[in-house]
Homo-oligomer: A and B are copies of this chain.
């Protein structure tokens, strides 16, 4: 496995293009199309929010067949809380893209990110799709990564090369997140491509696994969007023997996909709104993996923990406190906490720590918190950012 240049157009047989349809006031590209030259296997993971945006509902339906040709995505409008009209609009976006690519509308996946509760300006969107399709190119990935940005400050793309049974296979991806539009709801979108030949069930399984340890382990502010979506297209152009589950080739592919998703999810956290720190919370010694996740998420989402790290304040009591209200039956006398490798709390007892040393270590931009529950062998890692003035500023400004 090696890190490669580029993003969604790094794998063979993928092109991408963008257009400005004028939803974003900035006049920057806000519509993106990613196309596989031939039908591809596909899989998707979607928000579990009960309020699902129209493109989520449409893409969930379209992903079911296991094959697709293209992804159409826009930023600036979430097409969420828009009722029947919203569904019609998402279907129309798929329909227009399908007409231009001469395929079935069911082979088009749709994604949106932006303000909730507004109808899509279809009169601007539909004509823009043909401009994006006309501009499809083998090096369109960076433009796509930029077109889906909202309050993101950095574009997020990554690619991996991996050897599968002697064939070089590429995987690529773009992501957006941290972002609120205008500002509105944070949405995490990630589009992945690969030229691997892989069966849909194997692709689904690999995606589920990769997302569970990457995008499902990051949190900026604990607010789960109505529009979150991770999509993957696999067109088989690399010519490797078809990957099936429970094979050596599957493990190799799956590992590469894990790395790709981890890389993109960390990029989202590093670009978290107002973030000044990248914090890795490792929870080990849990009885159940879900317990580790709950403790990690309670700590990573605690406003008190996040503000303490912004302030570089070695106030470790807040970490212990958040672990305590996580809902997991932890035992204080078993609990140990390390910050940047410095043990602050061990088996329920506060350590005598050189506070200056600890505070100095907290001035780094990368922080590690290790919480050992000492109850079992399960473990997880959560990535989060701190909570700064800038976060409040970004999210307190007017939508309108």
Contact = CB atoms under 8 A, between A and B. Distances in A.
Interface of A: 48-52, 78, 80-83, 115-118, 180, 184-186, 221-226, 301-304, 307-308, 310-318, 320-326, 328-333, 335, 344-345, 348-350, 355, 359, 387-389, 391-393, 395-400
B396 A307 contact: yes
B81 A332 contact: yes
A118 to B, nearest CB: 7
A297 to B, nearest CB: 12
Given A317-B116, A349-B83, A330 B185 contact: no
Which 5 pairs show the lowest CB-CB distances between chains A and B? A116-B317, A311-B396, A51-B324, A307-B395, A49-B324
A323 B116 CA distance: 14
A221 B399 CA distance: 23
Please classify the interface of chain A as helix (H, G, I), strand (E, B), loop, or mixed, using the class held by over half of its residues: loop
A223 B302 contact: yes
Given A311-B396, A311-B397, A397-B311, A320 B117 contact: yes
Contacts of A335: 51
A324 to B, nearest CB: 3
Given A81-B348, A320-B117, A400 B359 contact: yes
5 contacts: A51-B335, A185-B317, A307-B396, A308-B396, A311-B397
Contacts of A400: 313-314, 355, 359
A313 B183 CA distance: 10
Nearest to A322: B223
Contact of A398 (B226, B313, B325): B313
Contact of A397 (B313, B392, B399): B313
Contacts of A397: 311, 313
Contacts of A398: 311-313, 359
Contacts of A115: 315, 317
Nearest to A307: B395
B399 A315 contact: yes
Given A81-B350, A389-B393, A399 B314 contact: yes
Contacts of A118: 350
